[in-house]
Structure 1
């Protein structure tokens, strides 16, 4: 069964009515089976984050349609959608002095009943998510006093607490040290394999995308430039066209996947 199908999505930014359109996404189409890890690559301004926000109903397309687990996107309320999709945005400073535990527990909001209070199951899910993301020792800390990398892990734990089958990640490795980058992405990859989660993640690091992805989508000037498996998509010609940079592509010595090295010459 398809987890998500994006069909001919069009979108434009326009600061004011009757003014010139400043950015467009045009004819964006792709589909993913359950348990797929998709990475979205592209230069700055190509529409990567915009596409994630459209899928999470933060932004609304001009035309086109999205199907989530067989359901028409347009017929799903925002609250209901949060049971299907969890979104981890780019790390931003928190606005309120909640504790880490309180912040992570907010991920249970889609499941709360009329009285709006968490039950024991909700609390257990939050605690397990903090353990998985290595922040259980920060549970009682004020989130505003954490480092950027710690905040990023808090936001991921909150998303895992939603227990949504589709996970959207906007540069999930931002602010993370090397150990936590690998640990977090390994955890996310494990979710796609064992729990059949579908992951759609924006990356700037092409090698990380190659290492963890089943599929890669490259955006260029608001359009899908290429979509397919890493070994098909990641080649010197494509990267030169999209990023304007010379690269050398060889194989990872252990995984055998494409490995990208910049060629300054």
Structure 2
């Protein structure tokens, strides 16, 4: 067991040895706390080398906020921040500490947990990692990419912050591999892309696949219906809009045909 000490260290002397994905919203909240003159409640975890160098092992979101404060407030240059410190260890122990922090003290994107866990499992089994960090294997499995998912899909999922839950749901679908690849491509589209396969759309597809005789359809017919599920919002909006026009037509004499163009021209 590595022993920690509590110290307050100058933030400018601490060097991060890893990067973590953080949200602008989270950073803004932490920065507002600091602007009020209050330090963040969760200490950084820092390791100290023999030469005096200080390395950030965990607590990047807090570190980021402190550094941001320095960039906008020169009076904070001499600021010392709360830290748990210990002697310099090794990459395995550093990753264990970081993963413990990610699972217990902060909201972390799945991609960061995935990358740290994946690195640890190069030399340790899932059971060993679970024991070392004190997290159930069932919780860790949520951050493991199944080997049947193409590597380029995993790369796109990481780059575009796709939902790991959606990716793994696609993997488990009872559809031909070609259709899975098409769905993977929709799931890994950029975050704000209107065609991105979301959890909500995925639910509609699962409803479709549960219908009687769906499996008896040809490949093209299956994909045609899946596409309708992918664009269900547009289909519903179009249907509802048509019903609106039909209802409005009832109020016009001589059954005048109303559509979007001439209705708003009235």
Fold conserved between structures, TM > 0.5: no
Which of the pair has more CA radius of gyration? 2
Which structure shows the higher helix fraction?
2
Greater relative CO (CA pairs within 8 A, separation 6+): 1
The two structures have a TM-score, normalised by structure 1, of: 0.28
TM-score normalised to the size of structure 2?
0.28
